[in-house]
Structures are given as C-alpha cells and as structure tokens.
Chain A
Amino acid sequence: MFDPVSMGIGGVASLITGIMDARAKAAGVQQAQQGLNFQRENADRQYRLGTATRTDAYGNQQTYDPVLNKWVIKLDPMQDRIIKSGEHEQLLSLTDDARLNRNVRNQAYDRGQQANEDYAQQRAKFKYGGPPSQGSIESELQSLLSGSAQGASTRSLGNATTQGLRSGTVLPNPRMSSEDLGSNLADIILKARSGAIGESATRNAAHNSEFLPLLQSLQTTAAGGGDAPLRFSDTPQALAGQQSDALKSLLTALHQGGTQVNAANKNASDLMFKSGPDTKGIASLISAISGANKTSKADPNEISDDVWANLAQQFKEQDTFGGSFGGTNQSF
C-alpha cells in the first residue's frame, strides 16, 4: 500500500546522502587540481633548474639561451687566458712541433735504412763467420801436441845418443824411445779434447759477445721509429663530451617534469569522470512529492554546477585535452 510519508522520509534521506557524496567528490577533484598545479610548478622549476646558469669553482659560467636554443659559455678571465694559451700550445704542437717531429722521424728513417744494411752485414758475419767446430779445434790441438811431443822426443834421443857416444856408455834404444812417445798418444788425445771443449766454448762466447750486442743495437736503430711521437688534437672529443653532458641533463629534467604533469593530469581526469551528483535520492524524492503534494523546490545540482564550470574553464585554459572538455557539465 502506498505510504507517501515513508516515501518522503526515504527520499529526503537519499537526497542528503547524495549531496554529501557530491561535496566529497568535488573536494577530491579540487585536491587533484591542486596536485596538477603543484606538478606543473614542479616541472617548471625542474626546467628552470636544468637550464639554470652553472658556475664552477673557477667562475666559469654556462648559460642556456632559450631564444637561440644554445648553451653560452662565459669563461673566467684567468680561465679564458689558460684555455687560449693551451689552444695556442696545441696549435703549435700540431704545426711547428709536428713539422720538427716529422724531420726527426725522417732522419730516424734514414738512419734506419743505413742500420738495416749494417745489420745485414753483421748478421751475415755472425751467422756464417762463426768459430771452427770443436772437432776441428781438437784436430789442431792434436797436431800441435803430437808435433811438440815428437820434437821433444827427438831432441832427447839425440842428446842421449851424443852423450852416450862421447862417454862410451850405453846408447839409448830408438825403438823404446818411439814406444814411449807412442804411449803418450792417449794423453795427447785427452788433452786435445779437453782443450777443444774449453776453447770452442770460449770462441763461441767471444763470437756471441762480439756480434749480439751490435746486432741488437742495429736492430733498434733499424726500427727507425725515433723518440718523437706525433700528437693530435683532442678538441673534437672534448666538445662532443661537453655537448652530450648538457643535452643529457636537459632532457632528463624535461622528461621528469613531463612525466609528473601527465600523472597529475590523469589523476584529475579520472576523478572528474567518476564525480557527479547521485540522483537516485532526487528521483525518489521527486517521485514521492509529485505523487503526494508536488511542493518541493530542492535543487541538489547547484554545487556541482559550480565545480564543473570551474574545472571545465581551467582545462580549457590549459588545453590539456585538446579542447574536448571545453564545455560545461552538460558536455560530460
């Protein structure tokens, strides 16, 4: 059974609840708008910070010119002199020094060419003019020792024979003398071998010490590199690094500001799509009143209209959404 009193009480309650809900959502939208404004200011501060004039410990200044879109460097007078002096030295090193170095290198090349020929000569002597073999030395020593022993034996035999003839005593036996000499052959061979080992080692060492240091020295000279390395300018690398650093810093600042503004915009738009009056209570109330005495003048949309108009105007000024939200609450 229809009870208009109960229906009216329920409608009023729903109306009050809808009004309070609309107020709470409007307050959320205002907070989101404040957050958006804060992030815009923050991004602006970051941009200003990224393009702020930078001054180092020497007083050098690096300033961004937004009109010309370039960085302007203003050097401290002392630093300016230092850099220009360095540039001057660098220029000299690439002109005068390089020319002198080139002369030095050409002279080193000429020396190297001559040393190369000398090296070939000495190398040939070292390789093909070595000492005789140990066997050859041993043969020489055998001949020398054997000849010496034979000479001594002959002299001894002659002296003993002369003495025996003069004194009428026993004459020496030539065969025994020859056999005594022959028995020394093993000793002669041993001495010759020992002597050959030592002499061969000594001659080889002398041969090496005569040629190897000389060859090494000639090899170094023949390399012809000299001690005057060429120097090249590092200005292109320095400039490239400087520009890269500045660009990276600026892009980072812009990216951070843009990201935060976008996030704030999204937050605000989400809240706006969700906000709006709850008309369920109003519909119930109108239905109840029209069904009873039709005397109510309540207008629960009054506050929401102001909020919608305010927000729409701000978005229109910002043109954040490309004008698609440029109307009033009816557009929503």
Chain B
Amino acid sequence: MSAPDAPPDNTLAVESMREQQQREAQARQDTLDAQHRTELAALRSGAGTSARGSASRYFEDQGLDPTQYQGSIDDRINEILGSIAPDDPNPGSYFKNVGQDVYNTDETQYRNKNERTLSNLFPTNFETGKISDSLDDPILAGILGEQRGSADNIVNNMLKRGVITDAGKSAASADLDRQSFSVQDRLRELGASTLASGRQGLTDVANRGRQAASTLNLGQSFDPYSYSSDVDKAFNDFIGNLSGSIRAKVPGSLFNTSSLAAIAGAGQGAQNTAFNPAALAGIIAGQPVNPDDPNKPLPTGENIF
C-alpha cells in the first residue's frame, strides 16, 4: 500500500485570487470616487451658474444692466468657487447674497474712484493755495492810499488857507503817518476775513462734490470736473467782487483829521498872522476874487470840506 499523495500547493493561486479581489475592490472604489467627484463638480458648477443668475437678477432689480457688471460678477463667483473645498457637498451655501456683495463692492469702488479724482482736483488746503493771503494786498494798498490822500488834502488845504505853516503841515503829516499803521491793521483784518469768506466759498463747492461722490449709487452719472469748473467760477466771482467786498466793510474815513489843526499848531509854534477877511470868508489866497463882492467866495469855489 502506497502513501497518499501530498495535497497540491495552491498558495500561489490563492494569493493571486486575493490580489485580484483587491484590485477589483480598488477599481470599484475608484469608480465610486470618480462618480462622487463628478457629482461634486456638477454641484459646484450648478451652484456657480445659479449664483450668476441670482446676481444678474439682483442687478436688474436695482435698475441696472447686469451685462455691464458681468466681469465683477464672474470674478466674485470664481473667487468663491476657488475657496470651496472640492469635497464640500453643499457649495450653494457659499453664494448667499452674492449679487448684493458684488453690487456693494462695485458701488464702493465707484465712489472711491470719484472721491480720489476729486481729491486730486481739490487737494488739502487747495482753497488757501488758490486764494492766498497776499491776494488782497493791492486792494488794501489802494484803499489805504485813497484814505491817506483824502486826509492829506485836508492838511494841504489848511496850508493853502494859511491856517498852518509848512512846519505845521509836517507835524500833521507825521500824525497821519502814525495813524497809517492802525488803519493798515484794520484794513488787513477786513481783508483777511474777506479772503476767509472766499475760501469758504471754494471749500463749499468742493465739499458738495465730495459729498455727492461719497454717496453715489452704482450706475449714477457723476462728473467730478464739473465741480472743478464751479470752483473756478466761484473763484472768478470772488476776485471780481473782492475790492467791493472789502470797501463795503470800510464804514467811512479811517484817518482822524479833526485834531490835525491842533497838532499842526503845536508843531509850528505861536505866530501873529494879520487879519484877512478873505480867509474868514473861506477864500483861499491866490484864487480869483468874486467881482460882485470881493469878500464873498466865488460861486464855484472849492469846498474845503
């Protein structure tokens, strides 16, 4: 009786079968994963499409043409899509209020752009640069000269009438020189406040532009350069009226001439002048005599007042 044969060694076959099963299981899993990825990609794509439609409707509700803002809408949606994890099963939740977000972003950018343009047109302290402190100097000098000329006429007339001598005139002129400083200061005060008023006018125009730019709605037309034109017009008006504005604030004669005779008399000293009836009558020496009555002034005589 022979010994039984040893059982066949099927180890290799069994191992091969096991590996085959593993490969098949892996293939099935890969197929499922691919399907899942495809489904997720479809979900993401569908969510993006739906969000584009939603955003377009929002712009239409605001009375705007969404095609004009399609670039912003697409950028925002692509940005959101890029931030969603690939395995997120609910990509649509990331697109809530996307239309409003795009609208707000574009509106803010529109406002910022126009505000920046206005800032370039009207930089800080532009009004001071446009209306400088020395702008009123010629006008103030003119007013001062006029006022001083009128006061000088008083002194000259007193000299011509023989009320004062040259020494007295010099004393009176010196007093007027002293008064000039205070008159100049007062005029400068009037000029400064008038310039401040003009600057305020320019600032008001610029601020109207800034206010309008900072509250612009998307789609609303806005021309920042129109405010620049308004500022130029306000400036020209101000310059045209500057002299009158300052002169209107000057209430009367700024030099005090009522005491000039006394000052001149003190300056020239005591003198004994012969009585002159013509002087009593207000006739200036050297002028033509009234043929009807030499003691009366000519009808067209100069009024010393």
The interface of chain A, by Cβ under 8 A from chain B, is 113, 120-121, 123-125, 127-130, 132-136, 138-140, 142-143, 146-147, 149-150, 153, 173-186, 188-189, 192
Contacts and interface: CB of A to CB of B under 8 A. Distances in A.
A129 B193 CA distance: 21
Given A127-B211, A135-B193, A175-B305, 6 more contacts: A128-B214, A140-B197, A142-B190, A175-B154, A179-B257, A180-B252
B193 A142 contact: yes
A115 to B, nearest CB: 13
B186 A186 contact: yes
A258 B79 CA distance: 62
Nearest to A116: B104
Given A139-B194, A179-B258, A185-B186, A128 B210 contact: yes
Contacts of B249: 142-143, 146, 188
Nearest to B210: A128
A150 B193 contact: no
Interface string B70-106: 0000000000000000000000000000001000000
A124 B256 contact: no
Contact of A181 (B195, B214, B252): B252
Nearest to A186: B186
B170 to A, nearest CB: 22
B236 interface: no
B193 A178 contact: no
B305 A173 contact: yes
Contacts, number: 105
Contact of B197 (A139, A174, A175, A178): A139
A179 to B, nearest CB: 5
Given A128-B211, A138-B193, A185-B186, A179 B251 contact: no
Nearest to B248: A143
B254 interface: yes
Contacts of B305: 173-175
Contacts of A153: 251-252
Interface string B249-278: 111111111100000000000000000000
B251 A150 contact: yes
With most chain A CB atoms within 10 A of its CB, the pick from B192, B200, B207, B256 is B200
Closest 10 CB pairs of A and B: A135-B196, A181-B252, A178-B252, A136-B200, A128-B207, A139-B197, A139-B193, A182-B252, A128-B211, A124-B214
